[in-house]
A and B are shown apart, each in its own frame.
Chain A
Amino acid sequence: ETGVTQTPRHLVMGMTNKKSLKCEQHLGHNAMYWYKQSAKKPLELMFVYNFKEQTENNSVPSRFSPECPNSSHLFLHLHTLQPEDSALYLCASSRPPIGVATGELFFGEGSRLTVL
């Protein structure tokens, strides 16, 4: 079983649809992240959750709504998106960098989103 699993791998939606991306980690980590990767641009951090609490919102539009019900699961709820939101959405997890933990990030395979 892979460490960080994302579903669906591919998603096509219209601008009026509502959909959700799911991320699950099996690594025993307590921090989870959403990143966005657009063509020709660096990865952009969107949200950070530590111990289920949101600790970072990088000025993300409200049409993206994250949810972290527990330390193993992270969702990204999508509604009324724009074509420019088409991108690869990557989930990652890590341990908090306490003691011997390094804070190393582990990524999932990503969800490729296309907004028509």
Chain B
Amino acid sequence: KQEVTQIPAALSVPEGENLVLNCSFTDSAIYNLQWFRQDPGKGLTSLLLIQSSQREQTSGRLNASLDKSSGRSTLYIAASQPGDSATYLCAPSAGTASKLTFGTGTRLQVTL
């Protein structure tokens, strides 16, 4: 059974800092891995998807990397802004491409 751990559980940084969110998973037989953000009381917004054959994906200030063999992914956020404050969720697919397993997320607060 796939298990996903996200570290740290919560993070507070001043505006402008670069930061790294970590995700580890126990079953390396994944099809892809998605990173999402969730604002309080809202749904999930897809940020990046990395295929199992890829090493990284970039979108604007976000860069996600994947090391499938070691069961790790990181989300790098450059020049953080208060609008980045949200919970970030990592979700590798467990064999079947769209059957995702979620971690409990990292709650990020970016302060002025």
Contact = CB atoms under 8 A, between A and B. Distances in A.
Interface of A: 4, 6, 31, 33, 40-43, 45, 48, 56, 88, 90, 92, 94, 96-97, 102-110, 112
B41 A104 contact: no
Contact of A45 (B45, B100, B103): B100
A69 B94 CA distance: 27
Contact of B98 (A4, A103, A112): A103
Interface of B: 4, 31-32, 34, 36, 41-46, 49, 51, 89, 91, 93, 97-105
Contacts of B98: 31, 33, 48, 94, 96-97, 103, 105
Contacts of B46: 104-107
A45 B91 CA distance: 12
Contacts of A6: 43
A103 B45 contact: no
A45 B99 contact: yes
Contacts of A97: 31-32, 97-98
A105 B43 contact: no
16 contacts: A42-B104, A48-B99, A56-B99, A90-B44, A96-B98, A97-B32, A102-B49, A103-B31, A103-B97, A103-B98, A104-B34, A105-B34, A107-B45, A110-B42, A110-B43, A112-B41
Nearest to B41: A112
A90 to B, nearest CB: 6
Contacts of A41: 104
Contacts of A105: 34, 46, 91, 98, 100
Contacts of A109: 42-43
B97 A107 contact: no
